[in-house]
Amino acid sequence: ATPTAVTVGIGRAAEYGILIKNGETLETSGHVDVAIFDKTGTITEGNPEVVDVIIFDDIKNNTETKSDEDADSDISEESQFGMTENDFIQMIASLENNSTHPLANAIVRKAEELSIDLIKISDFENVTGKGLKGTINNKNILVGNKALLEEEGIFESEDTNISFNALEKYDELTKQSKTAIFLVYNESIKGIITLMDKVRPNSKATIEQLKRMGIFTLMLTGDNEKTAKNVANSVGIDDYIAEVLPNEKLEKVVEIQNTDKKGKVLFVGDGINDAPALSQADIGIALGSGTDIAMESGDVVLMEGNLENVVASIQFSNKVMTRIK
């Protein structure tokens, strides 16, 4: 191989916003069999927005028949447990203020919009792929998905009816493609906040083109099953795996590399939790809109966060390689 062709090739790709950090990528790109995508921030824009704020009394009232008396009262303003919608958002946002996750940013932004002051959290802990923990006034606070509450035994310790209704509401919301997050304060489920993220405009076209090139496409996400399924269907990806923990993204890459010894595995991601998978994959493509660590771990960085450049980088490599041979 002539080093000049590689250098020229890398230079041309850069003009399109495709930064090839590793020259070897040009050789491997033509042999990709499987392309794995992260969901949040990769197939989707990664700018979720708060959609619903449902406090515990709402959950109860939604599943039980409302009496006429209740119908007029604004439950979210004055709950019988004394938690207003503002209190609810304040608690969640105060905990999320300690996290840099896209979901956390969206929730903190929401509190700012409502001019809600944040309060100090003690014993903060990040439970990767599940949520956050801490204490306020020496009472435990949990903000996260179903897996986090299961891990903490909340559904068992909480009143059976409340647990049942909360889970039913969670299912209903996630079916609508929303990411649903519980707030548990002082061991009691207070409610759910939901967020929604948009699919990138060219995700579908990217997946279609890769499939046409004979590449198997797979999406991995830490998000819930139903949201994952909706996103997967809307972009036409071959397969998806939901509720994947960060270390499992790496394990999946290794597993595919071990079963498919001839083909190469490409991984496209943006987050901190994608970094190990980006390094492990034969070709790691990081989105320039992503985290620094993802960009450091990738062999290729797409500057404009344009997903269609995944296809362009493969085609480009093929062109350079034919010229070299």
Give the whole-angstrom CA distance, residue 144 versus residue 66: 29
Taking phi over 0 as left and psi of -120 to 50 as alpha, with beta for the rest, 123 belongs to: left
**Closest distance of CB 130 from ligand ADP, Å:** 5
Taking phi over 0 as left and psi of -120 to 50 as alpha, with beta for the rest, 266 belongs to: beta
Among 48, 131, 276, 298, binds ligand ADP (CB under 6 A): 131
How many CA atoms does the CB half-sphere of 93 hold within 13 Å?
A: 23
Give the whole-angstrom CA distance, residue 121 versus residue 143: 12
Subset of residues 246 to 285 that bind Mg ion, contact rule: CB under 5 A = 270-271
Tokens 């014993």, residue located:
123
Subset of residues 68 to 107 that bind ligand ADP, contact rule: CB under 6 A = 96, 99, 101, 103-104
- Whole-angstrom Cα Rg for the chain: 23
Catalytic residues: 38
Please provide residue 52's backbone torsions phi and psi, each rounded to the nearest 5 degrees.
-120, 150
What is the contact mask toward ligand ADP in residues 257 to 276, using x (rule: CB under 6 A)?
--------------x-x---
Segment contacting ligand ADP (CB under 6 A): 14-22, 37-45, 81-89, 233-241? 37-45
179: contact with ligand ADP by CB under 6 A: yes
What is the contact mask toward ligand ADP in residues 237 to 256, using x (rule: CB under 6 A)?
---------x----------
What is the contact mask toward ligand ADP in residues 134 to 163, using x (rule: CB under 6 A)?
---------xxx------------------
Closest to 34 measured CA to CA, from 226, 259, 299, 291: 259
Q: Which of ligand ADP, Mg ion, none binds 181 (CB below 5-8 Å, type-dependent)?
A: ligand ADP
Q: How many residues does the chain have?
A: 325
Point out which residues bind Mg ion (CB under 5 A): 38, 40-41, 270-271
